[in-house]
Every structure is written in structure tokens, then in C-alpha cells.
Amino acid sequence: MITLRGLTKRFGAATAVDDLTVEIRPGQVTGFLGPNGAGKSTTMRMVLGLDRPTAGQALVNGRPYLELRHPLHEVGALLDATGVHPARSGRAHLVAMARSNGIPGRRVDEVLDLVGLDGRAAGKPGRALSLGMGQRLGIAGALLGDPPVLLLDEPVNGLDPDGVRWIRRFTRGLADEGRTVLISSHLMSEMQQTADRVVVLGRGRLVADAPLAELIAARPASSVRVRGPEPAGLAALEARLAAEGATVDADGDGLTVTGVTAGRVGDLAYELGVRLHELTPVAASLEEAFLELTAGSVEYAAGPTGGETR
């Protein structure tokens, strides 16, 4: 378990993390989300003892990282996939980590096999590793001590679709073993398929800490997609929906309807004798929930599309 109690970090006059209190529990994948500059990486660095908190505590299984007797056996982390010596092979990198932490050499081959790096890939020097290979190597390093707690910062960066799917299944399997898995990511669609729970930061402060399903369920279905082969019928349906107060946008052979349920749209289509090929509720997404929660916490905002920013 990772426990953060009143965790605060200031860099001069800037507050990167502000009185953060949260528990990252075992047995689930926790998505750690927030806009750029929200304090996610700084929080992870404080958990790992790389940054000293200005106030509060960051604990791993009840103790600060610096007090862990065998840290690699208790917490594994991937913060930077490029953190390998350019002239050292991936395998040599892991061997050095294992020897310095009293881990048997056979474990190196075990973790390389777990992450899908064969001897040829693991034998490449750091400078020759692709970003995707570096991510897999970093995860192998995090797993060397078989730790119960894992922190992964943007682990899917640089991975192809097969690699992204592998990460999803792999982290799910780790959580199912009872481990604590914390994943930082900007990919909302991927987090929606991976995380059980999400912790959201905005300008260093806790914005949300809730089960993923609960967070999304709190947002109503955003719209209903309707499609059919009869333009005149769809036009009649559109008029009837508008009369009931729904908002309807027509595009091509379909309608996007907000303000009524899919069931009501279906009932009206039946009453009007309109043949439909599609009637699909478009559920709220993690991305929509995230954008709503962090609307006032974006550090870098783009100007209007096609317009001049001032």
C-alpha cells in the first residue's frame, strides 16, 4: 500500500503538490491522472525518496522509502524509460541492479521473459533501444525484486498496439495477485480500460479519488446515436424529439440526440413508424469526466482554433 498524508512539495514560491492525502490500495490498478504540471511525477518521486517533502509523509507499506531495508523487494518503479547507460546492454543493466540488491542472477532472465524481451533485444546497448523496448526493460527492472508495490509513469509511451494491450493485461494480472499498482498516464481511453480506481490531481491538489465506474456513472450518458435508411422518417423523428425538448444534431444518415433516453427515442420511432438501423446510447467517458474535473487546473491552454491568441 502507498499512503500519502498531507504530502506537500514546494519549489521556492511554486507549490507542486499541495496537502495531498490518499491511499493507493493493493489488489487494484489505480490510475494517477492530471494535466501537465499537476504534480504526478513529483508525487511519485517523493514516494521513492528522490524528492524530500516540504511537509507530510509518503509511505510504502507504512514506512518512508528511505527506511526500507530492501527497497527493490518492496517497491518497483518505472519513471524514465531512457534511464539506461547508452553503452550498457539492457541485460547488463538488469544484472547490475540485481547484484547491487542481492537478487539472484536467474531473476534477470525471468523478468526479461515476463516482459517479452528476447536475448537479442536485451543484448542491445541502451542507445540502440527503441522507446518501446526501453519501456519493457524499465518494467523488467521494476519487477526484479518481485515487489508488492509498483509505480509506473506513462508505461505505454512508445508501445505499439500489441504492446499497449500487453501492458493492460500485465498490470491487471499484477493487481489480481494482490499487488498495489499505480499508473500515471495521459491516455484516458487506455486508463478507462485498465484502471479500477482513479486519483486525479489538479495544480497539486486532490480533485478526485474514486472507483472508475463510480466516477463515470456520476456523469449521465452524453447522447444517443440514431441512424436509419429513411431521411424523411428521421426528419419526422427529429421534429418530434425537438418538440419534447431534446437537442438534435443531424449528420448524414443519422442523428445525435441529447436530453432524452435511448428508450424514449425508440418509443417515438416506433410510434412514427420510422425504421432504424442504430439506436446507441453514447455513455460518458473517463475523458469527459477528467476534462470536467480539471477544467480549472490546466496549466497550458491552447487559444481558439484558427484564431489569434493574446
Domain ranges of the chain: 2-217, 223-283
Cell 494517477, residue? 32
Q: Give residue 156's pLDDT.
A: 86
Give the span between the Cα atoms of 153 and 240, in whole angstroms. Answer: 50
Give the span between the Cα atoms of 201 and 209, in whole angstroms. Answer: 9
Q: Which residues pair with 250 in a beta bridge?
A: 255
Q: Is 238 helix (H, G, I), strand (E, B) or coil?
A: helix
Give the cell for residue 89: 546492454
Q: Candidates 3.30.950.10, 3.40.50.300, 2.170.120.20, 1.10.286.10; correct CATH number of 2-217?
A: 3.40.50.300
**pLDDT at residue 190 tops 90:** no
> Integer distance in angstroms from the first to the last C-alpha of the chain?
46
Q: What percent of the chain is modeled with pLDDT above 70?
A: 94
Lowest mean pLDDT among 78-82, 95-99, 150-154: 78-82
Q: Which residues pair with 125 in a beta bridge?
A: 89
Q: Write down the mean pLDDT value for the chain.
A: 89
What dotted CATH number matches 223-283?
3.30.70
DSSP secondary structure letter of residue 70: S
Given pLDDT bands bounded at 50, 70 and 90, which one contains residue 291?
confident
Furthest C-alpha separation in the chain: 75
**pLDDT at residue 98 tops 60:** yes
Give the span between the Cα atoms of 66 and 190, in whole angstroms. Answer: 33
**pLDDT at residue 304 tops 70:** no
Task: Note whether 2-217 and 223-283 share their fold.
Answer: no
Strand locations in the chain (E): 2-11, 14-24, 28-33, 55-60, 75-78, 149-153, 180-184, 197-202, 205-211, 223-227, 247-251, 254-258, 278-282
Give the span between the Cα atoms of 47 and 8, in whole angstroms. Answer: 12
Which residues touch 122 (CB under 8 Å, ≥6 apart)?
A: 89, 90, 91, 94, 112, 137
Give the span between the Cα atoms of 51 and 71, in whole angstroms. Answer: 16
Rg of the chain over Cα atoms, rounded to whole angstroms, equals 24
Lowest mean pLDDT among 30-34, 159-163, 243-247, 254-258: 159-163
Reported pTM: 0.79
Give the cell for residue 113: 521473459
Residue 135: which H helix or E strand, with range? helix 131-143
Q: How many CB atoms lie within 10 A of CB 118?
A: 9
Q: What percent of the chain is modeled with pLDDT above 90?
A: 60
Q: At what angle do helices 161-176 and 131-143 cross, to 10 degrees?
A: 10
Mean pLDDT of 117-143: 86
